[in-house]
Amino acid sequence: MKQTRPGRLSGVGIVCGRELAAFFDSAIAYVYLISALVLLGSLFMNEFFLTGRLDMTPFFDSLAPLSIFLLPAVTMRLWAEDRKTRTFELWMTLPLSPGQIVLGKYLAALSLYSIFLLGTTPIVIMLVSLGSPDLGLILSGYLGAFALGMLFLAFGSLLSSLTGDQIVAFVASVVVGFLFLFTGHPRVVAVLDGMAPQLGPGSWLTENVAALPHYESFVRGLVELSSVVWFAGLTAVFLWLNTIVVTRVRS
């Protein structure tokens, strides 16, 4: 009997729902959310009691480097587990295109990350109850956190599709995350530029590769179109590459 191919959006929704349910059925989501919220909440509260500032900038400053480890923990299983347990072939027998499956899995991971960000809103409520924080600055910081998460989850999904080993996928995603963030760190830029002053590799990487300057512009309250396009464009490229990989493995 010929299977009926669902609509593009409904197919993506089916995959997203299945993957999100799998996160919570296996308790991965609960462990991830609780651990991440406790860790970042503790770091922020420690900074808050030391400075007494009604400001979430320290939270977002801590979130960026920790995302290098927190987000690969989500993406490492997206495809690697399917390839290891042979459920990849099951996905490929469904009347869905590779693009629908890739996008559905990605949106499931992004949904889990969004739930984590929602879980940090008690911090905002606490700050508002204590005074008058800059809500515009806080909102901008959340937009930056979401954009950074979009990017990290996209390349994490791509790397997971390239291997059947979750640990390999995790380590590879951590390495790429380090490159995206720390190529924009002032000390790293200074060292790289000092090694080749005429070429200025550190400055070039900061302007063209590093995610940190774009993220920091959000955290400092600057929602620039160039940063939005940079995050969105690079995320789309990684998802496109992810689809190519899945298509080739499928064939």
> pLDDT tens, 41-54?
898 888 888 887 88
Residue-level pLDDT at 1:
41
The structure tokens 């690079």 sit at: 234
Residue 197 lies in a domain: yes
Q: What is the pTM of this model?
A: 0.90
Total structural domains within the chain: 1
Residue 15 lies in a domain: yes
Residue 3 lies in a domain: no
Residue 137 lies in a domain: yes
Residue 2 lies in a domain: no
Tell which wins on pLDDT, 4 or 224.
224
186 confidence band (pLDDT: 50, 70, 90) = confident
Among 149-153, 182-186, 221-225, name the most confident range.
149-153
**Structure confidence by residue, pLDDT tens digits, 213-237:** 899 999 999 999 999 999 999 999 9
**Angle at the Cα of 130 (from 124 to 131), degrees rounded to 5?**
90
Residue 1 lies in a domain: no
Could you give the angle at which helices 201-208 and 186-195 cross, rounded to 10 degrees? 140
6 confidence band (pLDDT: 50, 70, 90) = low
What domain range includes position 42? 8-250
Residue-level pLDDT at 251:
65
Residue-wise over 78-98: b if at least 16 C-beta within 10 A, else e? bbbbbbeeeebeebbeeebbb
Residue 191 lies in a domain: yes
Mean pLDDT of 75-100: 80
* Percentage of the chain lying above the pLDDT 90 cut: 51
The structure tokens 């089916």 sit at: 14
In a 13 Å sphere around the CA of 113, the CA atoms on its Cβ side amount to 26
Residue 144 lies in a domain: yes
Mean pLDDT of 127-134: 90
Residue-wise over 227-243: b if at least 16 C-beta within 10 A, else e? bbebbeebbeebbebbb
pLDDT at 17 over 70: yes
Residue-level pLDDT at 177:
94
2 confidence band (pLDDT: 50, 70, 90) = very low
